[in-house]
Amino acid sequence: MSILTVMMLICVIGAGMLFFIPTAKTVLVKQISLAISILVALIGIYLVGSLDKTQSGMQFVEIRNWIPTFGINYSVGVDGISAVLILMSVLLVPIVLLATWNESENGRWSVRTFQILVLILEVFMIGVFAATDLFLFYVFFEAMLIPVYFLIAGYGSGERAAAAVKFLLYSLFGGLLMLAAIIGTYVIAGNQIGKTFDIEKLSTLQIDQTTQNLLFLGFFLAFAIKAPLWPFHTWLPDAARSATTGTSVLLVGVLDKVGTYGMIKFCLKLFPEASRYFTPWIIGLALVSIIYGAIVAIGQKDIRGLIAFTSISHFGFITMGIFAMTTQGMSGANLYMFNHAFSTAALFLIAGWMIARRKSANIADFGGLQRVTPVMAWSFFIAGLSSLALPGLASFVSEFLVLVGTFTRYPVAAVIGTIGIILAALYILIPVQRALHGQTLKSNENLSDLDIRERVAIAPVILLIILLGLFPKPILDLINPAAKTVITSNGFSDPVSKVKK
Amino acid sequence: MNPYVPILAIGAIGFGFAVFSVAIAFITGPKRYNRAKADAYECGIEPSPSAAGGGRFPVKYFLTAMLFIVFDIEIVFLYPWAVTFDQLGLFGLVEMILFIATVFVAYTYVWRRGGLEWD
Amino acid sequence: MLTTPSFEYLLLSPMLIILAAAVIGVLAEAFLDRNHLPVIQLFISVGAILLALIQIYRIKSSSSTSAAIGSVVIDKATIYLQGTILIIGLLALLLISDQEQFVAQASAIPGSREEQESTSKGSIQTEIYPLLSFALAGMMLFTCASDLITLFVALEVFSLPLYLLAGLSRRRRLLSQEAALKYFLLGAYSSAFFLFGAAFLYGISGSVYLVDISSAVSGGYGNDVFVLIGLIFISVGLLFKISAVPFHAWTPDVYQGAPTSVTAFMAAATKVAAFGAILRIFYVVFSPIANQWRPIISVIAIITMVFGSAVAIAQRDVKRMLAYSSIAHAGFILTAVLALNKSGLSAALFYLTTYGLSTLAAFGIITLIRDATGEVTDLNKWAGLGKKSPLIAGSFAFLLLSFAGIPLTSGFIGKFAIFSAAYETGNIAVVVFGVLSSALAAFFYIRVILLMFVAQSQNDSISIAIPSVKSRIAIGATTAATVILGLFPSLLLNITQSFSIFIK
């Protein structure tokens, strides 16, 4: 049994255990689910640590027959890219659980249900990144929606029901289009090499350009909605505003990464010609996302809305890096996915604490927090600086790589993309200045700083942001071979060498 | 000749006859109106608006009609069997007994559940 | 000179057993003590179904075209469909035997003193059992009939009892009777269409046997306009039974008016039977002229899926909503008819079974949600059900997710199987529409889930009846099947694969 399966099984067993604990014992329930998520996170660290970096293929592979009639297997395995994303997911879950310790108590349902949903979601998150069978991937991809839906609808605030439905319908719509494309790919495979969903085998198919373009669009739309890319982004700000902080972190930090991960793993791999055909358009969309997300973020009054829109801008960068089709761009995009998860998580978590203390999400209601709650303010400041890609902090390396990678092929796009960085300075520094610095408002005088639990939860995140800014090498070493394989095995080449000549 | 021509011809003749008879009755027939003429049916039972439930036929009519159909069908099948009795032999006999028994079940049901009690 | 016809009684035995049970049930009605009748009737029906299932198992690998002088074809697909119908019938029977849904005396005028008397006396219309058995037998015959006359007789044998059963609701009797009358009138109308089409096919081939019609179609008469007319009119009769748009108008009214357990049976079993016949006719008889009917059926499938899903959104009554959802599902299964290959047949068999079981479960759960006046089907009153009974509401939500085709449910596997089969033979437009209408359909399923779990309940008048053991078995088994077949679909897929064979 693969270690990946073990991780998923532990979460499943954990969720099953919680089911038998009385609803009233909320503390016990929380402790158990935190313990399980920490255990899984440790296994995740071990997984990444023991990954053979010299090898670019799939590791920790496990293949079992699931539905032989359709050639569907339960097959999991990781390469550098997916291993890093799994690490990201399993690290975030315990942080989220600890950071939002009390959040689940104000929901419509019990704390137990919340914890079970989170653990089930973790199963799907690991599964979606580990699946090497297209059908299995799709199953996890769609199944993931259900726990998130309930997390938003059951524990969120404000227009949570509408936001949950919007989220689900957008995702389902994209997912079902992808299903049609998956069926198309499957039928073509049946005609050429026999019924299979194995991604490696599917990537050997010979598909004519028109069909490939259509199938590509089916996949890409689903991922663009998930990512989310302008103009498919409208669900995200609503969901982020209504969901609990923890849900938002998992939603933006992990779930949205499935979109960009899917672009790398499926769009590029299965339909290289179509990818090339659509690249200019997608780069265009990515640029619009970068600029649009940034500009709208500047105008946001709700702090959670602001973070959501900055994410849209960041996903623009990631998508641009992916479709630049260069090794730097690809590595940068992958590293960006990892970094973005932690800087956004930090922003969301601290924003959540600020909102909980101040009972308002309006940026204008804060002010001078620096003096009253220094730890909280500093954490927010560091996370914000990382989000605007300040050198020395995590996001800088990845954003730089993305821009360099894009520049070698699409210089104009890279230059426009840089505008996004300037806007980023605006959208981060304006709220930082308004909320943290300046006159302390009377209403904020009595706000309390982070307590021990919150500090323990946020410390690793901040630490990661700083460490990855200074030493991104461990993660990059994992990503690079896989990123190189993605680029070369799909028939792309780095244009860098040509420029030099 | 196309085999459907005769069918069409029969159809046309039938239609023509209907039009012809109505037209001829309309043109040549005497027009003397009275109360019976205004009724829905000029023959058969009186429509009885005073019956229970405001103008409905008593359900007994339908029961009787259905019972009639039960035996009617039985007869319809008995005739051809009678003609080919010697050719079908024992098989035919057994099948017919089964058939009659089944029809008889329907009859006993009606009888036992009071379908034959007129009042 | 007539030759004595020969019958293969073993192959016919499942149907004969059910028919015999129906006749015995009528006799029991006539002679036995009315106080003991419910138990006796249930015993007869259940016993007969179990016996028939055993017989089905015994003949599971046999096939014959001459079981009843060419009027009946017993092949793998028939055996599978008959088995499915029997299992659905058995589970539906468990729901139906919870008596309080049925009228005490059907012939009493609604609201009359006579009705009150019979209700307070506790009398029960136990005729439902023989009627159900007749319907079952008709459905079984419908799936294996291989001449037009038998097909028509089977159609009537299973339809007439259903018309009656639809009118036997204990509460809201006028609605129920209206439903029955509508169903009857429209059903009779569609039967007439069917007969009309049958006459044309007889005219073209000079025979009522499907084999002869099939060889006439493939041998020279294929382009004849009369074949097409016959085909279209026969299809109208059949499409009516599966409630494909535009022959669907009866479905919401009947589903709403009929006693819920009867609706469950109707929705699940009628679809299996009618699709059994449709699949046989299109796969066996008309496959040589697929080019002629594919466009028509494609359009019908598309509008059925889209219409069913779109109109369901506007429904405020849970039974009506499920009715429209069943219309949409009919469209999905029609897609399998279009596939016209072995994987399409296998997919259809899988879908019919899983959909039938989930539908039974969903309607079974509806019977449990009650207030002082009986079952509550108004969706607004379902608000907050999740809080009252997480288990029941959770099961219902899961079934809805299965209807919506979310992965890890049997509904998803069924949809995938059908769509991939249809895609294989190039029906890409239908597949894309199917997928899009699934997204549309998801909207209203999700809305109900939202209502149950998220919305605040406005009143506390509704309650969840403690299910009897029989209901518990039926609902539990069907829900469990939806879960298990979602996780391990191979259990059933292997069976449908080996049973998806039609013979001429």
A8 at C interface, C-beta within 8 A: no
User: Are B72 and B24 in the same domain?
Assistant: no
Kindly tell me if the per-residue pLDDT of A228 is higher than 90. Answer: no
Inter-chain contact A187–C416, Cβ cutoff 8 Å?
no
pLDDT score, position B56: 63
DSSP string of A181-209?
HHHHHHHHHHHHT-S--BHHHHTT----H
Q: Which residues constitute the domain of residue B91?
A: 57-119
pLDDT band for position B43 (cuts 50, 70, 90): low
For C374, phi and psi rounded to 5 degrees? 120, -155
Kindly tell me if the per-residue pLDDT of C187 is higher than 90. Answer: yes
Secondary structure (3-state) at C209: strand
- What is the phi-psi region of residue C340: left when phi exceeds 0, alpha when psi lies from -120 to 50, beta otherwise? left
Rounded Cα–Cα distance for residues C229 and C194 (Å): 11
User: Are B21 and B71 in the same domain?
Assistant: no
Smallest Cβ–Cβ distance between B109 and the set C1, C2, C30 belongs to C30
- Determine the residue type at C393: A
Inter-chain contact C109–B53, Cβ cutoff 8 Å?
yes
C443 at A interface, C-beta within 8 A: yes
C494 at A interface, C-beta within 8 A: yes
Kindly tell me if the per-residue pLDDT of A275 is higher than 50. Answer: yes
- Closest of C155, C132, C349, C138 to residue C261, by C-alpha: C132
Out of A63-77, A466-480, B47-61, least confident range: B47-61
| Beta bridge pairs of residue A72 | A67
Which residues of chain A does C455 touch, with a Cβ-Cβ cutoff of 8 Å?
161
pLDDT score, position C304: 94
| pLDDT tens readout for residues C283-318 | 988 888 888 889 999 999 999 999 999 998 888 899
Rounded Cα–Cα distance for residues A63 and C263 (Å): 43
Q: Is residue C504 part of a domain?
A: no
* B86 Cβ contact list (under 8 Å, min separation 6): none
C51 at A interface, C-beta within 8 A: no
C-alpha distance from C394 to closest chain A C-alpha (Å): 12
User: Are B25 and B69 in the same domain?
Assistant: no
Rounded Cα–Cα distance for residues C51 and C59 (Å): 13
Kindly tell me if the per-residue pLDDT of C384 is higher than 70. Answer: yes
Residues 157-196 of A with CB under 8 A from C: 160-161, 164-165, 168-169, 172-173, 176-177, 179-180, 183-184, 186-187, 190
pLDDT score, position B46: 61
Inter-residue contact A125 to A89 (CB < 8 Å): yes
Secondary structure (3-state) at B118: coil
Kindly tell me if the per-residue pLDDT of A441 is higher than 80. Answer: no
- Tokens describing residue A448: 């309390």
Inter-residue contact A186 to A216 (CB < 8 Å): no
Q: Which residues constitute the domain of residue A59?
A: 3-500
| Beta bridge pairs of residue A64 | A74
C69 at A interface, C-beta within 8 A: no
B26 at C interface, C-beta within 8 A: no
pLDDT score, position C190: 92
| pLDDT tens readout for residues C119-161 | 777 777 888 999 999 999 999 999 999 999 999 999 999 999 9
Total structural domains within chain C: 1
Rounded Cα–Cα distance for residues C463 and C466 (Å): 9
Kindly tell me if the per-residue pLDDT of B119 is higher than 70. Answer: no
Kindly tell me if the per-residue pLDDT of A203 is higher than 60. Answer: yes
pLDDT score, position A501: 37
Out of A305-319, B25-39, C80-94, least confident range: B25-39
Q: Is residue C117 part of a domain?
A: no
B53 at C interface, C-beta within 8 A: yes
Total structural domains within chain A: 1
Mean pLDDT, residues B46-59: 60
Mean pLDDT, residues A302-328: 87
B30 at C interface, C-beta within 8 A: no
pLDDT band for position A394 (cuts 50, 70, 90): confident
Total structural domains within chain B: 2
Q: Is residue B2 part of a domain?
A: yes
Strand pairing report for A72-78 and C369-371: unpaired
Q: Is residue C164 part of a domain?
A: yes
Inter-chain contact A69–C494, Cβ cutoff 8 Å?
yes
Out of A390-394, B10-14, C284-288, give the one with best mean pLDDT: B10-14
- Residue A371: Cβ-neighbour burial (10 angstroms; 0-12, 13-18, 19+): middle
Touching, C vs B (3+ Cβ pairs under 8 A) = yes
Residue C246: cis peptide before it, omega within 30 degrees of 0? yes
Mean pLDDT, residues A40-69: 85
Q: Is residue B102 part of a domain?
A: yes
First to last CA, chain C: 27
pLDDT score, position A108: 75
User: Are B66 and B27 in the same domain?
Assistant: no
Inter-residue contact C478 to C361 (CB < 8 Å): yes
Inter-chain contact C4–B113, Cβ cutoff 8 Å?
no
pLDDT band for position C282 (cuts 50, 70, 90): very high
pLDDT score, position C441: 86
Smallest Cβ–Cβ distance between C2 and the set B59, B88, B106 belongs to B88
pLDDT score, position A468: 85
A172 or C45, greater pLDDT: C45
Q: Is residue B44 part of a domain?
A: no
Q: What is the dihedral of CA A474, A477, A478, A483, to 10 degrees?
A: 140
| Beta bridge pairs of residue A198 | A133
Inter-residue contact C241 to C155 (CB < 8 Å): yes
Smallest Cβ–Cβ distance between B113 and the set C1, C4, C30 belongs to C30
C-alpha distance from A247 to closest chain C C-alpha (Å): 17
User: Closest chain C residue to B113 measured between Cα atoms?
Assistant: C30
| pLDDT tens readout for residues C310-362 | 998 888 899 999 999 999 999 999 999 998 888 899 999 999 999 999 999 99
Rounded Cα–Cα distance for residues C198 and C195 (Å): 5
C-alpha distance from C384 to closest chain A C-alpha (Å): 10
Smallest Cβ–Cβ distance between B105 and the set C5, C27, C107 belongs to C27
pLDDT band for position A453 (cuts 50, 70, 90): confident
Mean pLDDT, residues A407-413: 86
Which residues of chain C does A184 touch, with a Cβ-Cβ cutoff of 8 Å?
423, 428
Out of C117-126, C232-241, C402-411, C491-500, least confident range: C117-126
Q: Return the percentage of chain A with pLDDT > 90, whole number.
A: 8
Q: Is residue B18 part of a domain?
A: yes
pLDDT score, position C1: 64
Using DSSP, how many helices (H) and how many strands (E) does chain B show? Answer: 5, 0
C484 at A interface, C-beta within 8 A: no
pLDDT score, position A500: 42
| Beta bridge pairs of residue C317 | C378
Residues 100-119 of C with CB under 8 A from B: 107, 109
Rounded Cα–Cα distance for residues C340 and C344 (Å): 6
Rounded Cα–Cα distance for residues C107 and A483 (Å): 77
Q: Is residue C3 part of a domain?
A: no
Q: Which residues constitute the domain of residue C472?
A: 9-111+122-499
Which residues of chain B does C4 touch, with a Cβ-Cβ cutoff of 8 Å?
87-89, 91-92
A68 at C interface, C-beta within 8 A: yes
Rounded Cα–Cα distance for residues A411 and A205 (Å): 33
C266 or B50, greater pLDDT: C266
Out of A245-254, B92-101, C39-48, least confident range: A245-254
* A–C CB contacts, 8 A cutoff, strictly below: 90
B113 at C interface, C-beta within 8 A: yes
Kindly tell me if the per-residue pLDDT of C35 is higher than 50. Answer: yes
Q: What is the CATH number of the domain that holds B91?
A: 1.20.58.1610
Inter-chain contact A70–C420, Cβ cutoff 8 Å?
yes
User: Closest chain C residue to B90 measured between Cα atoms?
Assistant: C4
Count CA within 13 A, CB hemisphere, residue C401: 24
Which residues of chain C does A172 touch, with a Cβ-Cβ cutoff of 8 Å?
439, 442
For A59, phi and psi rounded to 5 degrees? -125, 170
| pLDDT tens readout for residues A111-157 | 888 888 899 999 999 999 999 999 999 999 988 888 888 888 888 77
Which residues of chain C does A188 touch, with a Cβ-Cβ cutoff of 8 Å?
none
